Structure 1
Amino acid sequence: MDFGMTAEMLARIQFAFTVSFHFIFPAFSIGTASYLAVLNGLWLWKRDPAYLKLFEYWKTIFAVTFGMGVVSGIVMSYQFGTNWSVFSERAGPVIGPLMGYEVLTAFFLEAGFLGIALFGRRRVGDALHMVAVVVVAIGTLISATWILSVNSWMHTPQGFSIDANGVFIPEDWWAIVFNPSFPYRLTHTVLAAFLTTAFVVGAVGAWHLLKDRENRQARIMFSMAMWMAAIVTPLQIVAGDMHGLNTLEHQPAKIAAMEGHFESHPDGAPLILFGIPNEAEQRVDLAIEIPKLSSLILKHDLNAPLQGLDAFPADERPPVMIPFFAFRIMVGIGFLMLGVGLWSLWARWRKTLFTNPWLHRAAIAMGPSGFVAVLAGWFTTEVGRQPFTVYGLMRTSESLSPVAAPAVGASLVAFVVVYFLVFGAGVFYLFRLFRRPPILDEDHELDKGPHRAAGIAPGPAQEEPIRAGGAGAN
């Protein structure tokens, strides 16, 4: 079962498929873990049951997402030994320890405190429970740090030597971990995770506001999400621009593919807004472009020269079609996020944040936008690195295990079937959780919580019904 493709192409498709499924879960769980820490902190500070309800509401969603992320990550890692054993053998001395550090410093940290964060409030008390929630959030960030360090090293390798057998030997771990693209990739990815979570939270809050605009918990989650969209999206655009400048310095061929520049431009390169890359003819058909704007963005000079793909050997040029379109999808979604964030500021100023149905519908439509953006960014980054696994040093064709195309094709079909059944069921369950309205009930009365044992009596605001316009709604 080879589908008329080589073993290398099938192995690449299989890895892309499994990583894509895996990537969407950490992209959500990183932000959700931090969101839970904020909600729990607000509950301890204000003793407002609305925040406790929201924490309980989102912790179940986080637990399901975290579990799917762990399962998909374990399956993905086996492919280093099955389909990419030569890469593992040669690059293993560098990437193996880094991935081991991720398990030791992050996964064990998360796993050790996850049970307390999810189920331990009444058993360990508020203080230790808050510590556990924060540790889980920090663990997700540390996990992202190590994995992105590995990935960044593959794009901008340094701190190593190569022995006679072609094995990468670590020489300077500081240089390996903090390689040139790592700070930019880490910042860009973590901000993307926060925005992904914000727009999911905003979509859920908007959905319930359309059902009941007096639902205070929905108001709180929608307000918090829109603050995140308005504040973090501009930071993400700046971080993305800096990441692009770093990529231009270290991977100029990738930038040429992203921009659709088949030819070099010695006196200023245009910004191609849209077109259809024609790799056979080495041009962009139906191009809509703005003269010299690409040089202004990338080199801050209208007339600055910019290399095209013709400046690189033919066998070292990345494919153009996927990076070209994926990059535009990512950037387009980024500006849509900015638009929603600015719209929310306008609505907040007009005091219509919770009563504007069109803003709520827009937020619902943007709910999955973060997932699409992170996948588009990943496709841009990874396909743009081709034909290398370790950029400039080890080709993808040299990294493949000695496997036959039919065997890889059969396992790819198995992955597709199993993933859609298992993770499809998981996503369906998440949507069922999203549909539940976040309303207070007898399970979240404060007199059943640990504060009673600590001698904290409910105050008047905790005994009265929660009003729609009460504290925290904005």
Structure 2
Amino acid sequence: MDFDALMLSRMQFAFVIAFHILFPAFTIGLAAFLAVCEGLWLKTGREVFKQLYLHWIKIFALAFAMGVVTGVVMSYQFGTNWSVFSDRTGSVLGPLLGYEVLTAFFLEASFLGVMLFGWNKVGRKLHFAATVIVAIGTSISAFWILSANSWMQTPQGFDIDPVTGNFFATSWMEVIFNASFPSRYVHMMLAAFITTAAVVLAAGAWQTLRGHKSEPTRWQMRMAAGTLAVLMPLQIWAGHWSGEVAHEHQPAKVAAMEGWCETLDVQGTVLLAWPSANECGRSEITIPGTSPFLFNTDEPLRAYSSFAEDERPPLWLVFWSFRIMVGAGLAMLGFGVWGLILWWRGGLDRPGLFHWLAIPGGSLGFIAVITGWIVAEVGRQPWTVYGALRTADSVSPVEAGQVALSLLIFITVYAIIFTAGTIYMARIATRGFDDQPPEAGSGERRAPGSPLGAVDDPAQKPADSIVAG
């Protein structure tokens, strides 16, 4: 492998976006979870849902902040490392990213303050509206980001200036709603909800193993297990839908994902394979004759080696990332079904094997998101805009040493900040609802219902009377 400016720039962008994508994937789902909890509290009046809201909003605030910071760093790389790409595609992608800021980020920023700090200052309905608007804002943000990325996967509605070589839109509807956008948007939104559910389940499992059997702990585990059991089958369907679109528009990616070594009318599902003397590999476990159930086509299914060498994505990284993603998803489905069975039998609140396994299972959603991103982005190579602009023609004219130095700095800083932030969020998430920290100060008390645990004047009225409007 030649570590030139191109490879180092790809590694740097991959490193930064791998960290960044974890936070939006978590905050999109967590914002929806908070909206559900506050809505149930308003609807039923049960204190348990208010406790869940006040507990998880602290984690949401931290994750949202880290997502914004990592996102800003990532956006700068379009100018520093990928200036040629930005120059040539800016007329198409620039407006999409601008719409994300105007319609989503401003919306989130406007109501996030009310959501985090307005619990004792606005009425219940207004605060709930702020929570819902923030949740909607995260979904809108995902809409524009996925639209831009999907256009890079399946570009349409554009033309190229023959003089400058720059892209320009001929139909914005085709650019935004390109062929792969609907399936990829559904797939990503479900992934966000599932990722959050796995984290919430892991936190509840940890609390249960520590002997905390409070009502909020029980309810968060029930809600998380139910979410996994209901959404994972939908996610499998969405993944299949996305795979069908990729097979139509990016057949080389699908050939790498599936590990097809021969062009056949009917292919099998390769479960495991390893490198061998030939360029594709040797299958160890294969389920024969499955392709008619997966791909609706009368054309022969092309082998990986049938594509030109300079148009193939890296085989083994895409192949194994796809299997890790699928394995993580099936494991989360298992946790959801297992959790519902335990709930039905009255054993979800009793510590056992399920709880010990659910704790590391909290990382499965993040693993699936990262490996799914690898399949999508590495599988697109060697193109930045599929079939129209190669990655090698998109990189900035920078020295390899400069990129290597900045990559080293990113790795160091991210390792410190990400580790500290993750540990702190994990400590908050796993804290039991019946062992909250002592109130700060002898003459001060924690404001009842204050989302971020602000210290208020002791003469202040209880939160329930303040927000009753």
Q: Same fold (TM over 0.5)?
A: yes
Report what 1:404 is aligned to. Answer: 399
Shift of 1:298: 2.4
**SS of residue matched to 1:299:** coil
Pick aligned residue for 1:375 from 352, 367, 370? 370
Tell me the TM-score normalised to structure 2 length: 0.92
The answer as to whether partners of 1:213 and 1:354 remain within 8 angstroms in 2 is no
Q: How much has 1:216 moved relative to structure 2?
A: 1.1
Alignment of 1:312-331 (within 5 A): 312-331=307-326
1:230 Cα deviation from its structure 2 partner:
0.7
Q: Tell me the distance in 2 between the aligned counterparts of 1:454 and 1:437.
A: 26
Q: Which amino acid aligns with 2:239?
A: G
Name 1:418's counterpart in structure 2.
Answer: 413
- Whole-angstrom distance in 2 between the partners of 1:412 and 1:360: 38
Per-residue CA deviations over 1:82-115 (Å, capped at 9, x if unaligned) read 1100000000000000000001111111111111
Give a deviation string over 1:308-342, Cα, whole Å, max 9, x none. Answer: 12332221111101110000000111111111111
92-101 or 350-359, which moves further after superposition?
350-359
Give the structure-1-normalised TM-score.
Answer: 0.91
What residue in structure 2 maps to residue 156 of structure 1?
A: 154
Does structure 1 retain, via aligned residues, the 8 Å contact 2:207–2:432? yes
Residues 190-199 or 342-351, more deviating:
342-351
Equivalent residues, number: 450
Whichever residue aligns with residue 301 of structure 2, its letter is L
Q: Which amino acid aligns with 1:403?
A: V
Q: How far apart are 1:286 and its partner, in Å? A: 5.0
2: CA distance between counterparts of 1:273 and 1:204?
32
Aligned to 1:364: 359
Question: CA 1:275/1:452 → structure 2, altered by over 3 Å: closer, same or farther?
Answer: same
Q: Deviations over 1:57-91 (max 9, x none)?
A: 10000000000000000000000001100000000
Structure 2 residue matching 1:273: 3-state secondary structure: strand
SS at match of 2:295: helix
Question: CA-atom RMSD, angstroms?
Answer: 1.9
Offset of residue 443 of structure 1: 4.9
Residue 126 of structure 2, aligned match among 128, 133, 144: 128
Alignment check: 8 A CA contact 2:120 2:467 kept: no
Q: Is the 8 A contact 2:150 2:180 kept in 1?
A: yes
**Which digits, 9 at most, give the CA deviation of each residue in 1:224-246, with x for residues without a partner?**
10110110011101111111111
The separation in 1 between residues aligned to 2:71 and 2:415, in whole angstroms, is 15
Work out which of the residue numbers 278, 292, 295 in structure 2 matches 1:281: 278
SS, match of residue 263 in structure 2? coil
Q: Partner of 2:17 in structure 1?
A: 19
CA drift of 1:262 comes to 3.0
- The equivalent of 2:102 in structure 1 is 104
Between the aligned residues of both structures, percent identity stands at 50
Q: CA deviation at 1:380?
A: 0.5
Distance 1:333 1:455 in 2: 44
Q: 1:225 maps to what in 2?
A: 224
Rounded to whole Å, the distance in 1 between the matches of 2:348 and 2:429 is 21
The offset of 1:360, in angstroms, is: 1.6
Instruction: List aligned pairs for 1:198-209, cutoff 5 A.
Output: 198-209=197-208
Q: Is the 8 A contact 1:10 1:408 kept in 2?
A: yes
DSSP-derived class of the 1:9 partner: helix
Code of the aligned partner of 2:30: T
Partner of 1:184: 183
Q: What's the counterpart of residue 36 of structure 2?
A: 38
In structure 1, how many angstroms separate the alpha carbons of the residues matched to 2:433 and 2:14?
A: 36
Higher mean alpha-carbon deviation, 361-370 vs 180-189, is at: 361-370
Closer, same or farther: CA 45–343 of 1 in aligned 2, 3 Å:
same
Q: Give 1:461's aligned residue.
A: none
- Whether contact under 8 Å (2:279, 2:305) holds in the other structure is no
* SS class of match (2:398): coil
- Show the counterpart of 1:167: 166
Where does structure 2 lack aligned partners over 5 or more consecutive residues? 437-444, 450-459
Q: Deviations for 1:128-168, whole angstroms, at most 9, x for unmatched residues?
A: 11111111100000000100000000000001111012111
Structure 1 residues 332 and 126: CA distance shift in structure 2, 3 A: same
Distance 1:362 1:454, change over 3 A: closer
SS in 2 for 1:340: helix
Confirm or deny that 1:345 pairs with 2:340: yes
What is the CA–CA distance in structure 2 between the aligned matches of 1:257 and 1:295, rounded to whole Å? Answer: 18
2:15 counterpart SS class = helix
Q: Residue 379 of structure 2 aligns to a residue in which SS? A: helix
Name whichever of 207-216 and 111-120 sits farther off. Answer: 207-216
The aligned residue for residue 452 of structure 1 is 465
Unaligned segments of structure 1, at least 5 residues: 457-474
